[in-house]
Amino acid sequence: MTAAVEYFPITPIEYPDEDGKPMAEGDIQCSYLTYARNALRLYFQNRSDVYVAGNLFIYYEQGNPESVVAPDIFVVFGVDNRDRRSYKTWEENNKTPDFVLEITSKATRTKDQGAKKGIYAFLGVREYYQYDPTGDYLTPQLQGLRLVDGNYFPVPTSTLPDGTVSLSSEVLGLELRIQSGEMRFYDPATGQTLLSYEEEAAARQAAEEKAQRLAAKLRELNIDPDTL
């Protein structure tokens, strides 16, 4: 007599894409999060192997949805540049973020300097930056950490003659600067500050309007702009 075998369906493990909480504590934090994500996406837009995301869940242990962290901004090298609903390391050849930026606020400062710092070190995040837009919770308000032999050490800070505070990111090949009280990414190779989508569009429009005014002025002087 053959014993009957009863099969029970296996409930698939769910990895939520969101937790229902707001993206950032306030308008100031949200504006810097948006700037950083857009500016870095523009900077790496021609790289098919660099992924830039913000406020996205990173699951780092298959089968355990509790092993999750959601950086404000993170950059991963060596993975496809495509949209994702969440980032699961086991689906990405176990690649974890190389760079993380947290926009610190009253509600997040404890986690940013405690639990998250430990998780990022565990995941091997090579550089971890924190920025406090209001200057109320971090001193100095822009801080960087670089991973060396499994431990984080401060990234040196330099102050330029005009008072601009600058920290160099070896991972990104950029500098993070505090200019006139605002954080911006700066490209030392071009000498230019990285712009957001909106800032780039506004700069392009201003340049086009300037060119049109110049062309109109030349025509008034009976000079063909195309000959210049």
Q: Are 185 and 36 in contact (CB under 8 A)?
A: yes
Q: pLDDT at position 105, please?
A: 74
Q: Count of CB atoms within 10 A of residue 58's CB?
A: 22
Q: pLDDT at position 110, please?
A: 63
Q: pLDDT at position 8, please?
A: 46
Q: Are 100 and 73 in contact (CB under 8 A)?
A: yes
How many angstroms separate the CA atoms of 167 and 169, rounded? Answer: 7
Q: Count of CB atoms within 10 A of residue 49's CB?
A: 11
Q: How far is CA 139 from the centre of its chain?
A: 21
Q: What is the largest CA-CA distance in the chain?
A: 106
How many angstroms separate the CA atoms of 136 and 144, rounded? Answer: 17
pTM: 0.82
Q: pLDDT at position 4, please?
A: 54
Backbone angles phi, psi at 60, to 5 degrees: -120, 10
Q: Are 94 and 87 in contact (CB under 8 A)?
A: no
CATH of domain 27-195: 3.90.1570
- Successive 10-residue mean pLDDT values, the chain, 228 residues: 53 73 66 94 96 96 95 97 96 98 78 83 97 88 95 95 95 94 94 81 64 69 67
If we measure between CA atoms, which residue out of 65, 80, 63, 81 comes closest to residue 17?
Answer: 65
User: What are the residue boundaries of the structural domains of the chain, listed by start?
Assistant: 27-195, 196-228
